[in-house]
Amino acid sequence: MMITTSMLYAAGLKHGVNPHLVVGLAWHESGWQPSVVSSASAVGIMQVMPSTAAADGPALLNRDVNLYDPGDNIDMGTAILKNNLNRYNNDLAKALTAYYAGGAAVTDWGNLRADCRRYVWAVYNAAMMFKDGKGPV
């Protein structure tokens, strides 16, 4: 697990995203398991959709990515998160909602779907847990 957390932390620094947020997002998405594939076909540690990687990999990373490679998966997921933060003026709730449910689900907090609110809080809480040194190592 230490390799994964250091890779997540490094990706946060590389992309200018709070590393604790990256670590917490990955923990919530996959428990840091690189081989996880969701019922929706999201892949790996950061649970990136293959169609998103195919479209956004070249645009955000200037290269194609292999979502089954943990380094590529972490790099892609963190780049998507950074792109969302930029798009939504660093509004964490909107950026995380877009990561979880796509841009069409993004709205003001008061109008946000209940599942999106739960997701945002879960990722935020995981990030704070890691920031405080209380998460798994």
DSSP string, 20-68: HHHHHHHHHHHTT-TT-B-TT--BTTTTB-HHHHHHHIIIIISS---TT
Distance CA 103, CA 107 (A): 9
Instruction: Quote the pLDDT of residue 1.
Output: 59
Q: How far apart are CA 42 and CA 29, in angstroms?
A: 10
pTM for the whole thing?
0.94
pLDDT of the residue at 133: 87
Is 2 marked active-site?
Answer: no
Task: Express each pLDDT in 82-96 by its tens digit.
Answer: 999 999 999 999 999
Q: Which of 29, 67, 70, 76 is catalytic?
A: 29
Q: What does the alpha-carbon distance between residue 79 and residue 130 come to, in Å, rounded to a whole number?
A: 20
The predicted-structure confidence for 15-54, as pLDDT tens digits, reads as follows 999 999 999 999 999 999 999 999 999 999 999 999 999 9
pLDDT at 135: 73
Beta bridge partners of 87: none
CA separation for the pair 54, 39 (Å, rounded): 19
